[in-house]
Structure 1
Amino acid sequence: MDTAKMQISFDDMNRIRILEADMFKQTENLAGESTGFVEKIETFNKKVASLLTVLSAQSKKIETAKLLAIGQKNRNKNALEDRRRLQAELQTQILLKKQQLERIRQYNESLTKTFMEQKQIIEKFKTSG
């Protein structure tokens, strides 16, 4: 500071001041506003930290739920594939059983025909004999 521009004054409490009274009051006001601003920033930071904690906890819950949903989806998909595979196997078995039934039916018809022919032959022998 330039000593020529410095002015020594007394404030309301008779303290010596180098700054002019209005400059000193402005400086005090600025200091008070700065303190208030810092307090508001600290409060804001605490609220942000609290919000981040809550969001982090929610994020973990969401991630857990997401993983559970993916697991359930995979289980459902696997169950569907298993059902389709089982259905295909059962349809194959049904087809094989139908084919076997048809062979047995034809064999039965053949045996029945042979039985009837043999019965007729036996009847012929009985009647001719």
Structure 2
Amino acid sequence: MDAVDRGVYFDEDFHVRILDVDKYNASKSLQDNTNVFINNIQNMQGLVDKYVSAIDQQVERLEAEKLKAIGLRNRVAALSEERKRKQKEQERMLAEKQEELERLQMEEQSLIKVKGEQELMIQKLSDSSSGAAYV
């Protein structure tokens, strides 16, 4: 530092300064600009925090919807399997009922045949017993 750079100075408000008025003003301007920059950074940080929070909420909603969709897909798959199982069960029951129907129809035919034979036998017996009574 030169001897000229050292000294005591007075600003426009008559305050005592160690720095030259121009250097002081430049330093003060730098400080003001730095404070503005810091405020802008803090504002930006607040906005970033707000957007990050909003994005986190969206992520949570998406995850919830994804879990819900997976649950619905699993439920649909389970219902499909249940329908297939019920259809097979009903087909099995239908086959059993069909077999039972065929068995009952055969039994009915057999009973009709036996009834016809018995009626014929009764008629023969009644014809022979009525003929024997006239003899």
**Which category describes the TM-score, using the shorter chain as reference length?**
0.7 to 0.9
Residue by residue, what CA displacement relative to the aligned partner does 1:96-116 show, whole Å, maximum 9, x if unpaired?
111111111011111211221
**Higher alpha-carbon Rg:** 2
* Whole-Å separation in 2 of the counterparts to 1:5 and 1:100: 125
Kept in 2: contact 1:7–1:20 (CA 8 A): no
Q: CA deviation at 1:57?
A: 2.9
Q: Secondary structure at the match of 2:116?
A: helix
Point out the more displaced range, 6-15 or 32-41: 6-15
Point out the more displaced range, 85-94 or 25-34: 25-34
Q: Percent identity?
A: 26
CA RMSD of aligned residues (A): 2.4
Residue by residue, what CA displacement relative to the aligned partner does 1:56-104 show, whole Å, maximum 9, x if unpaired?
2332233223323322322232122112211210111011111111111
Point out the more displaced range, 3-12 or 46-55: 3-12
Q: Secondary structure at the match of 2:13?
A: coil
* Whole-Å separation in 1 of the counterparts to 2:39 and 2:93: 80
* Whole-Å separation in 2 of the counterparts to 1:5 and 1:93: 115
In structure 1, runs of 5+ residues without a counterpart are none
Q: Which amino acid aligns with 1:102?
A: E
Q: TM-score, normalised by structure 1?
A: 0.79
Aligned pairs for 1:54-93 (under 5 A) are 54-93=54-93
* Whole-Å separation in 2 of the counterparts to 1:51 and 1:107: 83
Q: CA deviation at 1:26?
A: 3.0
In structure 2, runs of 5+ residues without a counterpart are 130-135
Which residue in 1 is equivalent to 2:99? 99
Q: TM-score, normalised by structure 2?
A: 0.76
Which residue in 2 is equivalent to 1:16? 17
Q: CA deviation at 1:5?
A: 7.5
Aligned residues: 127
* Whole-Å separation in 2 of the counterparts to 1:35 and 1:13: 23
Q: Does 1:31 align with 2:41?
A: no
Q: Which amino acid aligns with 2:19?
A: I
